[in-house]
Structure 1
């Protein structure tokens, strides 16, 4: 039985530098295999307020040539009604062609060194706006992640690769892709990206005692549910615009 990620801070080794991470403790991964083939399309959805799926690089591509760690069976919720945004608290100046290697570092730390049950995030987005599948189980299914302690049920975790302090703007391509991903993922259950949703804490180490219900934006930051700086000041400041963009992509131009 592998341990499920608790959301505690750690460190990430990138090259020769040590970077403090809000969410992971990682170690050097296998050699990079490059970004792989073109991202794979996922099935579209239809309905009054759905959005087209973004292009998503599947985990089979960024894990190419890597032996996966043992993991417990995938757990599913009934649906996804909210997403929590994170940042990886790692360097911002990376070449986007190197993103698969960066994700392998994160995976090696969470599922390897720390023996968590898989990479915690359901999705990761790089500064060029490329979306990557994180946790196993199916991008269009309500996979229970390990990203926001106490609030992993009925939510999806999206990690922005980088560090988004107050003086570091969120790249436009990244923000647009986060909005598109959230619009599609929330649209699968008919959720409005601008809505408020009620979630129940499953762990007293979150901001809310176990069993306590709390209201969240359908697109929230990690710090809304857990005592952390993540996802950084600039990404938190971008959330209102991301919600509006996601709602627009769902065809919700009016409340």
Structure 2
């Protein structure tokens, strides 16, 4: 998520603390910005996205920041939203700055503390593909039901990108719950026997057995399929994304991410978090669909991400430069200083044991991928990577957070055991 900055984090944070937010006392100027801010959606499409321009701040006690160089916003009252992110015009432009927001809770009327948005998201389609982002964007932040927001962006390098705006996302209501057996089966995949899993692999046109045979292994090593909540189960409206799906040849590696969307969600809200991220990826970043192939919440529930079939090699937009022949798994939350729950780590091991096994990949192994272009490896370079890698292994970023990254060794071992290795 956050790309590594050359500047000192300590110095940057200290400078940001003395930056005041200078805004109209009555919020009148900002209320004028709200007119026509909601994006056009198809009739009946759940949720909404509102874009509010960030205006120059009128003053600063920080002499390192030129007058008016920082941007801010005081929204006044707005329709409820639950997820926020900052967007700008040019997807090639890098936001070298500190981005903070605070929001007012609908339930209590109280303002949150200032929270930082991940300004350097490297979750993206590979350069030169049809899905390259339509806009630059930070990672989204889940804030819960809120009805007012303040934002401030302080430059730490060059000038800020043009067209800075704050997107407020309402994920829409929970989908109706039908307790009948058939709809329940459509929301969640049951665990399968090994024979059924191997049959599924064959039905999907995969070549796990052939790959394993070439490696001298007797029979495919496929972990049991975990329970997976399908897109319908978390309320993904298929009218929001582009039609159809794009596939890569196989799955040689799994890149582990954290969503950097914060940890202030309950597991009962995971569907809302996913719908918010889905809408943000499509409407704000300009991707064709949800970026990650799978998501895992902190209670260990696995969710289908990008559409196209959970057993198939669906091309995602998760690891800039290495989306081809790989899959992306995002653990919902921020795990830089917070340890990921054991349930989430175990779920990642189960998911990778199954999905990598379908494609004949050893979770403890090393594979070779060709870079599509990024800040670590030039386009066309062949790179050796762990079959289960962190996002930071393919791109200079803090993702999946230090505490989650430290768990990847144990994840590889657990996934291999589940494959019977």
Normalised-by-shorter TM-score class: 0.7 to 0.9
| Aligned residue runs from structure 1 range 172-187, under 5 A | 172-187=342-357
* Distance change (3 Å), C-alpha of 1:50 and 1:108: same
Cα deviation digits, residues 181-204 of structure 1 (max 9, x gap): 00101101111001011100112x
Aligned to 2:329: 158
> What TM-score, normalized to structure 2?
0.54
Unaligned runs of 5+ in 1: 20-24
Distance in 1 (CA, whole Å) between partners of 2:238 and 2:222 is: 36
Does the residue aligned with 1:151 lie in a helix, a strand or coil? Answer: coil
Whether 1:243 and 2:395 are equivalent positions in the alignment is: no
Whether 1:63 and 2:232 are equivalent positions in the alignment is: no
> What TM-score, normalized to structure 1?
0.87
Whether 1:123 and 2:275 are equivalent positions in the alignment is: no
Whether 1:228 and 2:397 are equivalent positions in the alignment is: yes
1:123 Cα deviation after fit: 0.2
Distance in 2 (CA, whole Å) between partners of 1:53 and 1:26 is: 36
Pairs aligned (count) = 244
1:58 Cα deviation after fit: 0.3
Aligned to 1:22: none
Aligned to 2:366: 196
Does the 8 Å CA contact 1:78/1:142 hold for their aligned counterparts?
yes
Does the residue aligned with 1:27 lie in a helix, a strand or coil? Answer: strand
Aligned to 1:99: 270
Aligned to 1:41: 190
Aligned to 2:124: none
Aligned to 1:79: 250
Distance in 2 (CA, whole Å) between partners of 1:219 and 1:34 is: 36
Higher strand share: 2
Does the residue aligned with 1:156 lie in a helix, a strand or coil? Answer: strand
* Distance change (3 Å), C-alpha of 1:125 and 1:70: closer
Q: Which of 130, 143, 146 is the matching residue for 1:14? A: 143
Unaligned runs of 5+ in 2: 1-128, 152-166, 179-183, 199-218
1:28 Cα deviation after fit: 2.2
* Distance change (3 Å), C-alpha of 1:4 and 1:42: farther
1:5 Cα deviation after fit: 4.4
Distance in 1 (CA, whole Å) between partners of 2:168 and 2:402 is: 24
Whether 1:30 and 2:202 are equivalent positions in the alignment is: no
> Looking at both structures, which has the greater relative contact order when contacts are Cα pairs under 8 Å and sequence separation is at least 6?
1
Does the residue aligned with 2:273 lie in a helix, a strand or coil? Answer: helix
Does the 8 Å CA contact 2:142/2:264 hold for their aligned counterparts?
no
Does the 8 Å CA contact 2:139/2:260 hold for their aligned counterparts?
no
Distance in 2 (CA, whole Å) between partners of 1:8 and 1:208 is: 22
Does the 8 Å CA contact 1:175/1:242 hold for their aligned counterparts?
yes
1:233 Cα deviation after fit: 0.3
Does the 8 Å CA contact 2:257/2:328 hold for their aligned counterparts?
yes
RMSD after superposition: 2.5
* Distance change (3 Å), C-alpha of 1:18 and 1:218: farther
